[in-house]
Structure 1
Amino acid sequence: MVIAAFLQDPMVHLASAGGLVLLLGSAGLYKLRDGQGFARVLQGYGAAFGGQLTGLSGLLKVLVPALELLAAAGVVASVWWPQAALPAVSLLALYAGVLALAARRGAAIKDCGCHWGGRPQAPSAALAVRNLVLLLPALNLLLPSQSRPLVWFDAITLAGAVFSGLALYLLANLLIANRSSLQELIEP
């Protein structure tokens, strides 16, 4: 029961919301800013899934970033209304499924579309697992948080938690990218 009480602490909710807002908001803005690059990513997925996205790529080019920005806004609102986190939960689950399916099919996609101008990565099981791990704080946002007064030290704790989460996310991305680069060097 200690874990359940910890997960319902308002600081855990605020840290989860802060991290997910940074992730989803920056991903949506990046896709809007680099529309041509995102269109190439969508073409790769379309080819990998048998050309089924051909007619939808123009719509998806606008819809996916808009949904990410909407999910980021929902995560902010989840602090007061937990069900507002449902778009983030849905997107992260969908992304994990698409990445897992593309990796399982062995699709020759060069770029998963899940980086911020860094080194492109092919879809892999590791990226699908990463998204499943990101799903945990989003699912936690669906639960109501306890009510307790926040003190000045909570602000320091929140900043430390969000920056630590960001550092872990970036480190995981770097390790996954390095692993795939190493595999490219080893395999002929």
Structure 2
Amino acid sequence: MALDPTLLLSVRFGAALLFATAAWHKVVGWPRITGVIAAYRLAPERASTVIAALLVGLEIGAALAAALSPVGLYGAAALLLLYAGAIGLNMWRGNRFIDCGCLGFARGRPQLKPAMVVRNMALAGVALVAATQSAQARPLVWIDYLSVAGCLLCGALIYAALEVAMALPAKDARS
């Protein structure tokens, strides 16, 4: 099945935007992110700085690869699945009350939630589907580029809204 090239470009540039922003937030909040990585308890605490640097490099690589080629979406999906696995493992171990380390939206979130795992798996699924499809052979015209820009804007707004919604405290059933 061949995808419309505007849809494929929207997914590729959306993944690139997501990972470029994630890398930027890690660099800007360096002391915070090394603490977040340590709190996940997946490696010795002294390795947190090295792991943070590795993740920044991987995210920059995923952003560039996704922007340049649909094949780059495989790396984006792998990182999303890695993050979903880290969140899921910590929830399973009962280590829920840590900062998720997510983007700047709802920063400092004190609790991991199943919705975060679902979000990352859904994004990885979209990336994998797009990576396995070819684009229809047709020339792009100006409206296609405008459509891609609109998709990216809408996608970013929806992502931000979902992040803020996930950060809201759970509603008390007795209210």
TM-score calculated relative to the size of structure 1: 0.83
C-alpha separation between the residues in 2 aligned to 1:33 and 1:53? 23
Structure 1 stretches of 4+ moved >4 Å = none
Tell me the residue number matched to 1:170: 160
Q: Offset of 1:147 from its aligned partner?
A: 1.6
C-alpha separation between the residues in 1 aligned to 2:121 and 2:79? 11
Greater CA drift, 155-164 or 114-123: 114-123
Q: Deviations over 1:78-100 (max 9, x none)?
A: 1xxx3232211110111111111
Q: Map 1:41-60 to 2 at 5 A.
A: 41-46=36-41, 49=42, 52-60=43-51
Q: What RMSD, in angstroms, separates the aligned Cα atoms of the two structures?
A: 1.8
Structure 1 residues 56 and 16: CA distance shift in structure 2, 3 A: same
Q: Map 1:38-117 to 2 at 5 A.
A: 38-46=33-41, 49=42, 52-78=43-69, 82-116=70-104
Q: Deviations over 1:121-147 (max 9, x none)?
A: 222211000001111231133222222
Tell me the residue number matched to 1:151: 141
Identity of aligned residues (%): 31
Tell me the residue number matched to 2:7: 12
Aligned residues: 171
C-alpha separation between the residues in 2 aligned to 1:160 and 1:136? 22
Which ranges of structure 2 fall in alignment gaps of 5 or more residues?
Answer: none
Contact 2:15–2:63 (CA<8 Å) still a contact in 1? yes
Q: Which has the higher contact order (CA 8 A, sep 6+)?
A: 2
C-alpha separation between the residues in 1 aligned to 2:80 and 2:119? 10
Tell me the residue number matched to 2:170: 182
